[in-house]
């Protein structure tokens, strides 16, 4: 009997898992699964303790689902990627593995790890098969007429949709039970040797069934309203599927097919397309990361922005991190992040612009802090978003486009409902003054337990423009 091993990483599901489906195709093969935790590597990548806890809970759920199908899930913990290759090699020897199946990861360290694993296992006579699984279309498959990677999102999106019209990527069914199923799930996976932080299970319940239920609900009831409410943080207008996509409890193909089932016109600029286009943004950043590996090393895409003279101000950075900048929409957003490990997408843009363009603090500080907090942390999306806000990336906001945090609050949280939820110090401030509470307090001789703005936006804007203009001139 041949033995097939599925090496699980950020693909913690049984439905539409390309590597798992391929490993199970031979009904006579013995199929094993393996997950290797690498806490020191996670630490280097600034993984949020909430995300580590989310991974652990979903891994435990996956262990039960695999056991029902006769597939034991083995677990091991080691320091880093190099040690994981050593363990994988030893595991294949111990269990007489004939073929290894795994889904690609596209970050540079992960790609180097996989290349080392294939080289080692090839020497042991193990056949390795890798698959493009975490994307709708493989990196390099959507290119310009000159066969290069797009550097601007809109033409990439158009080309991407044309490819989808030519043929949709297929979903794979969950594997059927093996001949000897079910097997005992065995010992529960121990807690990772990594800081774990509780997350809100009412917002992000663990498990594949919970993720699919949320996807079905969003596709049936919410996605058509998404264009109208997606920028309003006081409303529950987004899908909240990003944590599941980040660790592979859901696949983007499942999302695409579910939306098209409910809204067949979604790829023809129907209302549901607005949300599908967010999936294409996710693809764009991952395709870019493969085409330009320096992005994995946190290098700016726009070369001359290396010259920007960032401010080193620990007090301002701490105020931003803690939600104590004196700008209500910024502070509410950061407190949401610190409490939930998640932030509304519009708010991610607002707080990123504030850190970089109002405080003139290096965008790397924000990128790192987000990864340390986010339950949906994803290198490509996080880096792409920060470089967009900082005007250092491909298809970035021009450096002279600077959000005014006060008017952004007025536009997207007009009555201050979101602000009052997260900044209770302002609960007594009238709606008309909620975005400039200090002006109201002074006018009415009130005392607020809330800080004054740490910078004046107009002055900060001029300072930032000068810094970017000097950097560009120096290039």
Between the alpha carbon of residue 129 and those of residues 36, 56, 104, 285, the distances in Å are: 18, 26, 10, 25
303-341: pLDDT as tens digits: 999 999 999 999 999 999 999 999 999 999 999 999 999
Q: Which of 197, 338, 345, 417 is catalytic?
A: 345
Structure tokens, 51: 């995300």
- The mean of the pLDDT values for the chain is 96
39-86: pLDDT as tens digits: 999 999 999 999 999 999 999 999 999 999 999 999 999 999 999 999
Write down the number of H helices and E strands in the chain: 20, 5
| Total length of the chain | 475
Exposure of 458 by Cβ count < 10 A (0-12 exposed, 13-18 middle, 19+ buried)? exposed
377-426: pLDDT as tens digits: 999 999 999 999 999 999 878 999 899 999 999 999 999 999 999 999 99
Q: What pLDDT score does 467 carry?
A: 97
- Strand, helix or coil at 146? coil
The domain segmentation of the chain, as residue ranges, is: 3-131, 135-169+209-291, 303-474
For residue 380, give the nearest of 135, 187, 197, 202 by alpha carbon. Answer: 135
Q: What pLDDT score does 294 carry?
A: 95
Annotation says 278 is catalytic = yes
Q: What pLDDT score does 181 carry?
A: 65
235-245: pLDDT as tens digits: 999 999 999 99
Judge whether 135-169+209-291 and 303-474 match in fold: no
Q: Which of 197, 262, 278, 425 is catalytic?
A: 278
- Does the pLDDT of residue 186 top 90, yes or no? no
Superfamily of 3-131 according to CATH: HUPs (3.40.50.620)
Annotation says 386 is catalytic = yes
pLDDT band at 179 (very low <50, low <70, confident <90, very high): confident
- Domain 303-474: give its CATH code: 1.10.579.10
Annotation says 112 is catalytic = no
**What's the N-to-C CA distance of the chain in angstroms?**
63
- Does the pLDDT of residue 187 top 80, yes or no? no
Q: What pLDDT score does 397 carry?
A: 80
Q: Which of 7, 42, 281, 320 is catalytic?
A: 281
Q: What is the pTM of this model?
A: 0.96
pLDDT band at 185 (very low <50, low <70, confident <90, very high): low
- Domain 135-169+209-291: give its CATH code: 1.25.40.80
| Average of per-residue pLDDT across 338-361 | 97
- Does the pLDDT of residue 183 top 70, yes or no? yes
- Does the pLDDT of residue 182 top 90, yes or no? no
| Average of per-residue pLDDT across 280-306 | 96
Tokens 């949401």 — which residue? 336
Exposure of 441 by Cβ count < 10 A (0-12 exposed, 13-18 middle, 19+ buried)? middle
The strand order across the sheet containing 127-131 reads: 73-77, 30-37, 3-8, 99-103, 127-131
Q: Which of 275, 342, 363, 440 is catalytic?
A: 363
The vertex-116 CA angle with 115 and 120, nearest 5°, equals 120
3-state secondary structure 22-47: HHCCCCCCEEEEEEEECHHHHHHCCC
Q: What pLDDT score does 327 carry?
A: 98
Annotation says 342 is catalytic = no
- Tell me what percent of the residues of the chain surpass a pLDDT of 70: 99
Query: In degrees to the nearest 10, what's the CA dihedral of 342, 347, 352, 355?
Result: -100
Distance, in Å, from the CA atom of 246 to the CA atom of 447, rounded to the nearest integer, reads 44
Q: Which of 386, 388, 422, 440 is catalytic?
A: 386
Strand 127-131 versus strand 99-103 pairing type:
parallel
For residue 127, give the nearest of 249, 201, 22, 282 by alpha carbon. Answer: 22
């Amino acid at each position: 009997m041949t033995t097939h091993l599925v090496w699980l990483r950020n693909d913690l599901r049984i439905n539409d898992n390309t590597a798992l489906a391929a490993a199970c195709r031979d009904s006579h093969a013995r199929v094993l699964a393996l997950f290797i935790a690498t806490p020191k590597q996670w630490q280097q990548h600034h993984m949020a303790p909430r995300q580590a806890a989310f991974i652990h809970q979903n891994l435990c759920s996956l262990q039960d689902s695999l056991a029902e199908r006769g597939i034991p899930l083995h677990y091991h913990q080691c320091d880093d990627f190099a040690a994981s290759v050593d363990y994988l090699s030893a595991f294949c020897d111990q269990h007489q593995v004939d073929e290894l199946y795994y889904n690609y990861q596209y970050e540079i360290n992960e790609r180097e790890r996989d290349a080392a694993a294939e080289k080692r296992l090839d020497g042991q006579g193990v056949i390795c098969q890798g698959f493009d699984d975490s994307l709708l279309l493989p990196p390099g498959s959507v290119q310009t007429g000159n066969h290069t990677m797009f550097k601007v999102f809109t033409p990439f999106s158009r080309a991407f949709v044309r490819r989808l019209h030519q043929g949709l990527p297929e979903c794979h069914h969950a594997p059927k039970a093996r001949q000897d199923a079910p097997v005992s799930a065995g010992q529960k996976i121990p807690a990772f040797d990594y800081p774990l932080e509780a997350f809100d299970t009412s917002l992000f319940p663990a498990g594949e069934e919970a993720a699919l239920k949320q996807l079905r609900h969003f596709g049936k009831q919410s996605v058509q309203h998404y264009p109208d409410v997606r920028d309003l943080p006081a409303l529950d207008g987004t899908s909240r599927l990003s944590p599941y996509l980040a660790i592979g409890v859901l696949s983007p193909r499942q999302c695409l097919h579910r939306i098209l089932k409910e809204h067949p016109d979604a790829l023809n600029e129907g209302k549901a397309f607005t949300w599908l286009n967010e999936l294409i943004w996710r693809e764009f950043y991952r395709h870019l990361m493969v085409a330009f590996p320096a992005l994995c090393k946190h290098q700016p895409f726009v070369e001359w922005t290396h010259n920007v003279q960032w401010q080193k101000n620990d007090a301002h950075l701490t105020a931003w991190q803690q939600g104590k900048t004196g700008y209500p929409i910024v502070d509410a957003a950061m407190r949401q992040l610190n409490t939930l490990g998640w932030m509304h997408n519009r708010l991610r843009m607002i707080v990123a612009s504030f850190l970089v363009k109002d405080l003139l603090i290096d965008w790397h500080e924000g990128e790192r802090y987000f990864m340390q907090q986010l339950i949906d942390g994803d290198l490509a999306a996080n880096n792409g978003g920060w470089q967009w806000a900082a005007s250092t990336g491909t298809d970035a906001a021009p450096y002279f486009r600077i959000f005014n945090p006060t008017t952004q609050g007025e536009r997207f949280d007009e009555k201050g409902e979101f602000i009052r939820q997260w900044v209770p110090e302002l609960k007594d401030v009238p709606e008309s003054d909620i975005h400039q509470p200090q002006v109201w307090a002074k006018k009415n001789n009130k005392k607020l337990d809330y800080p004054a703005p740490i910078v004046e936006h107009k002055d900060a804007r001029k300072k930032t423009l000068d810094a970017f203009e000097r950097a560009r001139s120096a290039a």
